[in-house]
């Protein structure tokens, strides 16, 4: 099924406090964020018409902007309310939400001082990233030559658009090599993450995941860690070397878009979709389809969190 280009759709996008027709949501070609990477974003999921962990994502958008040195001119409560109204207007049942904030076009200079800050939110139907077969049997990862940078060389705690250029190059190379995604190591050579998702590995009854000290510790990652502890799965967060991969039985990725996605191979290492992966997939599915798991109802009823 062919979907229309993302710039040619019906509906509305929330842009700087106003709902504008989808095709009219533009920015200038001399936008500072486009030239110098001054932009941050979020990815959020809609399940059964409700946004999962909306406020957590909105708060992280603010935190990412602060990490890059700019202030978003809308509070967490305002952005939450705009998101809920947008999802309602667009009639999204199961889909994706993309908030993004960037520096404006007042000047072209490496310095971002004096530039305005703009914010947009878009949403569209998007049930799954991978096919049903991939969800059942897993995807294939190839190790990339690109690495996650050191914390003193990049804003690694931010969900910054500039950092995703590494992911784009890694993913394009993986696609060309016949893989479904890429595995990135960090600057020290430890296993880090995939291009848009965190990595988990299983040995025996233990769940292992790389220490998130130079890449984003995702909201879905934390959700799965909490679920694992709730159902009695021992969790180990540590540095993992690539040569250890062959000693694990199961592997999966987590992310807002990926959800809990099994991995069947990394390079020549093979994994099974075993009981731990299945248990956490089922637990995550139950959670995201529980209305109590979202902040959307509280915000929609007029009691949003007012923090920024």
Residues with catalytic function: 159
Q: Are 51 and 97 in contact (CB under 8 A)?
A: yes
d(C-alpha 217, C-alpha 211), whole Å? 9
Angstrom distances, CA of residue 219 to CA of 59, 106, 197, 262, 268: 11, 34, 10, 18, 29
d(C-alpha 95, C-alpha 248), whole Å? 33
d(C-alpha 261, C-alpha 6), whole Å? 25
Q: Using alpha carbons, select from 74, 56, 99 the residue that is nearest to residue 17.
A: 74
Structure tokens at 177: 């090599």
Q: Are 171 and 179 in contact (CB under 8 A)?
A: no
């Amino acid at each position: 099924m062919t979907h229309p280009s993302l710039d040619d759709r019906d509906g509305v996008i929330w842009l700087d406090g106003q709902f504008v027709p989808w095709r009219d949501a533009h920015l200038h070609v001399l936008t500072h964020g486009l030239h110098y990477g001054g932009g941050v974003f979020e990815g959020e999921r809609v399940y059964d018409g409700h946004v999962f962990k909306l406020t957590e994502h909105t708060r992280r958008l603010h935190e990412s902007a602060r990490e890059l040195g700019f202030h978003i001119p809308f509070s967490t409560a305002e952005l939450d309310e705009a998101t809920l109204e947008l999802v309602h207007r667009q009639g999204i049942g199961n889909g994706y939400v993309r908030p993004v904030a960037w520096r404006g076009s007042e000047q072209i200079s490496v310095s971002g001082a004096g530039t305005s800050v703009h914010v947009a939110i878009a949403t569209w139907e998007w049930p799954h990233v991978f096919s049903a077969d991939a969800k059942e049997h897993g995807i294939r990862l190839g190790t990339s030559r690109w690495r996650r940078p050191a914390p003193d060389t990049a804003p690694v705690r931010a969900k910054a658009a500039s950092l995703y250029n590494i992911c784009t190059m890694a993913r394009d190379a993986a696609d060309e090599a016949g893989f479904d995604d890429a595995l990135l190591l960090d600057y020290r050579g430890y296993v880090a993450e995939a291009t848009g998702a965190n990595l988990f590995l299983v040995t025996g009854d233990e769940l292992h995941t790389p220490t998130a000290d130079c890449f984003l510790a995702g909201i879905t990652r934390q959700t799965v860690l909490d679920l694992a502890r709730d159902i009695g799965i021992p969790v180990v967060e540590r540095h993992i070397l690539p040569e250890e991969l062959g000693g694990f039985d199961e592997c999966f990725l987590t992310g807002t878009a990926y959800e809990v996605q099994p991995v069947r191979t990394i390079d020549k290492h093979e994994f099974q979709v075993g009981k731990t992966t299945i248990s956490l997939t089922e637990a995550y599915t139950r959670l995201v389809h529980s209305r109590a798991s979202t902040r959307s109802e509280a915000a929609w009823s007029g009691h949003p969190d007012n923090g920024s």
